[in-house]
Chain A
Amino acid sequence: MTHTHTPRCRDLLGSISEYVDGSLQDDLCRELERHLSECENCRIVVDTFKKTIYLYQSSSAEADLPVGVRERLFKRLDLDEFAKKA
Chain B
Amino acid sequence: MMVISSQSEISFQALKSGDRAEFARLVDLATPAIYRLGLKMLGNSQDAEDVLQNTFLKALQSLDDFEGRSSPMTWLYRIAVNEALMLIRRRKPQVEIADEPVGESDDIIAPVQLTDWCCLPESEFLTAESKKALDAAIQTLPEKLRAVFILRDIEGLSIQETMEALGLSDTAVKSRLLRARLHLREQLSVYFGGRLKEEINK
Residues of A within 8 A of B (CB): 1, 3, 5, 9-10, 13-14, 16-18, 23, 41, 44-45, 47-49, 51-53, 55-57, 59-60, 63, 65-66, 69-70, 72-74, 76-77, 79, 81-83, 85-86
Contacts and interface: CB of A to CB of B under 8 A. Distances in A.
Interface of B: 2, 5, 20-21, 23-25, 27-28, 31-32, 35-36, 39, 45, 49, 52-53, 56-57, 60, 108, 110-111, 113-118, 125, 131, 134, 138, 149, 153-156, 159, 174, 177-178, 181-182, 184-185, 188-189
Nearest 10 interchain pairs by C-beta: A82-B24, A17-B178, A52-B185, A60-B154, A44-B116, A1-B114, A79-B24, A45-B111, A86-B2, A49-B185
18 contacts: A3-B111, A13-B110, A18-B174, A44-B115, A52-B181, A55-B125, A55-B134, A57-B154, A65-B32, A69-B35, A72-B53, A73-B27, A76-B57, A77-B53, A77-B60, A81-B20, A85-B28, A86-B2
Contacts of A47: 116, 118
B20 A82 contact: yes
A48 to B, nearest CB: 6
A13 B182 contact: yes
A45 B27 contact: no
A86 B28 contact: yes
Given A59-B131, A65-B31, A65-B32, 7 more contacts: A1-B114, A1-B115, A49-B182, A52-B181, A63-B39, A79-B23, A81-B20
Contacts of B53: 72-73, 76-77
B120 to A, nearest CB: 9
B125 A10 contact: no
A47 B108 CA distance: 18
Main secondary structure of the interface of B (DSSP, over half): helix
A53 B181 contact: yes
Contact of B118 (A48, A70, A73): A48
Contacts of A49: 181-182, 185
Contacts of B5: 85
Contacts of A18: 174
Contacts of A17: 174, 177-178, 181
A79 B27 contact: yes
Given A13-B111, A56-B153, A86-B2, A48 B27 contact: no
